[in-house]
Amino acid sequence: MAVALYPGSFDPITRGHVDLVHRAARLFDRVVLAVANNPGKRPLFSVGERMRMCEGAVTNIDNVEIVAFQGLTVEYARTHGIDVILRGIRAISDFEHEFQLAGMNRHLVPSVETVFLAPSAKYTYLSSTLVREIAAMNGDVSDFVTGNVAAELRRRLRAEAPDAS
């Protein structure tokens, strides 16, 4: 069975990530979307919240599973018998970092291949960072994230907003 591991912060998952999952789900028997539990990055959402948002965003894709992981991505792949790491390339600016990561991962575990997919052109400028920034300034993020994620962003940012009274 061909399985792809799609690792990331997903803080939060965007329609660009979902687009990639759709593409991968057609190419692989199973896609494992792996939410990185990396407290050093100080994410806006906890790993549990990010997993729940991912579940809601890909609920209509059958062969996707959501997991959390800590530590090296290649180690997770190796210990779970997964041969492919999936990463997204939005633009040339992503390429250098992703290429370096793929080379390092190949050095660490040569049997694991990295596969790159490009999203639909309309998502090439989309990132979780921009979504967080737009939402924090009360901008409309509905073109960029699924409804469950937009609602979660509103809830979180309302809770964090200073009391206006």
Can you tell me which of 90, 141, 152, 153 binds ligand ADP, judged by CB under 6 A?
A: 90
83's CB contacts (< 8 A; 6+ apart) are 2, 3, 77, 111, 112, 113
Alpha-helix runs per DSSP H in the chain:
15-27, 47-57, 73-79, 92-108, 128-136, 147-160
Catalytic residue among 41, 42, 107, 158, which?
A: 41
Catalytic annotation, pick one of 17, 50, 87, 132: 17
Q: Establish if 69 lies at the interface with ligand ADP (CB under 6 A).
A: no
Residues numbered 19-38 forming contacts with ligand ADP, rule: CB under 6 A:
20
Q: Is 88 in the site for ligand ADP (CB under 6 A)?
A: yes
Task: Give a three-class secondary structure readout of 103-126.
Answer: HHHHHHCCCCEEEEECCCHHHCCC
Taking the complex as a whole, the smallest distance from the CB of residue 97 to ligand ADP amounts, in Å, to: 8
**What residue ranges bind ligand ADP (CB under 6 A)?**
8-10, 14, 16-17, 20, 87-88, 90, 94, 119, 123, 126-128
